[in-house]
Amino acid sequence: MLSYLGWIVAAFLAGVLFMLLYQQRRPTLQRRVFQMGIFAGRSYAEILEAMDAPQTETRRADGRTLRTWRNRDYSISLLFDGREMCLGVEDEGK
Instruction: Let me know if residue 7 belongs to a domain.
Output: no
Q: How many CB atoms lie within 10 A of CB 42?
A: 17
> Which CATH number is 71's domain given?
3.30.1450
Instruction: Let me know if residue 11 belongs to a domain.
Output: no
Rounded distance between C-alpha atoms, residue 46 and residue 93, angstroms: 22
Q: How far apart are the first and last CA of the chain?
A: 48
Is residue 76 within 8 A of residue 33, CB to CB? The reply is yes
pTM for this one?
Answer: 0.71
Question: How many structural domains are present in the chain?
Answer: 1
**pLDDT (tens digit per residue) in 43-54:** 999 999 998 899
Instruction: Let me know if residue 3 belongs to a domain.
Output: no
**Nearest of 49, 30, 44, 26 to residue 85 by alpha carbon:** 44
**pLDDT (tens digit per residue) in 73-90:** 899 999 999 999 999 999
Domain that holds residue 40: 28-93
Sign of the CA dihedral running 37, 40, 44, 45: negative
